[in-house]
Chains A and B, each alone.
Chain A
């Protein structure tokens, strides 16, 4: 499913959550939507799912999504503890809504997942632990088998084994039923190997959109004598620096060419990779770092 966002703005009173954002996703990939708290991830996804009227345009496969029955059928957004799960309802009743109202719903798969995550069918949603409620959200999101499936912070409250079960399930279901999946998370380190493409937003604006593997190869940590490091990094995008005595490490963003690699060797500088998570931290840093 192709996603096109053009000049999207979301405001709550005086607060601007999304500020004139434009981007497009070609679809059929697992996308990671990364951003700090309050960066606008939930607002963006809500606009993509037709949960609120967009100012600007949000189109799925070329048609606007808001209040468009044909486009809405293709979308599923699960925010935190499941929008489609009412606290007073039993889990079995929550699944009945999916079966009744979603054409693409796979009920056998839903039951299989409920069993996997050890969620009691007779338990009321309000009585589930936070982790179980998140897992129920994952059940709804995956069993919906929507061409555009969005999971917003679905790992909240899950313990480590449950999170790994979630990642495995997500990956296997994506391979069996390829579709566009957008996941937002804080646990970048854990999830990053699952992502094909990364969209980073900050302060309601798009910071970058890039293939995860390309992004990984973009960051380099340059370590060595402070003056040599300074000389080497002149004119480069330096995301962050730290010093220990006379040794300095600088995080630079952008691929290095052969000439630069040779120069680094001449200066005796050590070049190392940067984890996606560290890149993210520095790319979204409001103070200290340069964009």
Chain B
């Protein structure tokens, strides 16, 4: 389930962030417990706890004592903002490089993007 290479807790944290961004996890919604996560992904509970701790530190999640972990109200906005900052560097630039390498004119790439725009979404 995991590639056993980069630290697993970071992969878990990334997955939860992706769920928050996509709206699968909503603001103030409770996330599964450490043990449920550990059991579901077949990972050590301490690893899952480490991922949760990272997300609490980053203010994506907050802790309610004795109840569990919840998605912060501002989590989605915050992650979107962070995503916007890195989007061009991490997604667009490599895409342009890839298009150049395989010989697709940038005009064609732009036309494709405009098609998405006209169809009203992704």
- Chain A residues with CB under 8 Å of chain B are 29-30, 164, 167-168, 171-172, 174-175, 189, 192-196, 212-214, 216-217, 272-277
Contact = CB atoms under 8 A, between A and B. Distances in A.
B38 interface: yes
A195 B8 contact: no
Interface string B1-36: 111111111000000000000000000000000010
Nearest to A276: B4
A213 B4 contact: no
B78 interface: no
Given A175-B35, A213-B9, A213-B50, A277 B43 contact: no
Contact of A273 (B6, B38, B43): B6
Nearest to A221: B5
Contacts of A30: 44
B7 A213 contact: yes
A105 to B, nearest CB: 24
B9 to A, nearest CB: 6
Contacts of A194: 42-44
A167 B39 CA distance: 10
Given A30-B44, A196-B47, A213-B7, 6 more contacts: A171-B45, A192-B4, A193-B42, A217-B6, A272-B5, A273-B5
**How big is the B interface, by class?**
20 to 34
Contact of B5 (A29, A174, A196, A275): A275
Given A213-B9, A213-B50, A171 B42 contact: yes
Given A196-B44, A196-B46, A274 B5 contact: yes
Contacts of A171: 38-39, 42, 44-45
Contact of A193 (B6, B35, B47, B50): B47
B41 interface: yes
A212 B44 contact: yes
A193 B43 contact: yes
A140 B110 CA distance: 64
A231 B111 CA distance: 44
Contacts of A216: 4-8
Nearest to B34: A175
B39 A172 contact: yes
B39 A168 contact: yes
B4 A193 contact: yes
Contacts of B5: 216, 272-275
Contacts of A175: 35, 38-39, 45
A273 B2 CA distance: 13
Interface centre among A29, A174, A212, A275 (most CB of B within 10 A): A212
A213 B38 contact: no
Contacts of B44: 30, 171, 193-196, 212
A212 B42 CA distance: 15
A8 B47 CA distance: 31
23 contacts: A30-B44, A167-B42, A171-B45, A172-B39, A175-B35, A175-B38, A175-B45, A193-B43, A193-B47, A194-B42, A194-B44, A195-B44, A196-B44, A196-B47, A213-B7, A213-B9, A213-B50, A216-B5, A216-B8, A217-B6, A272-B5, A273-B3, A277-B4
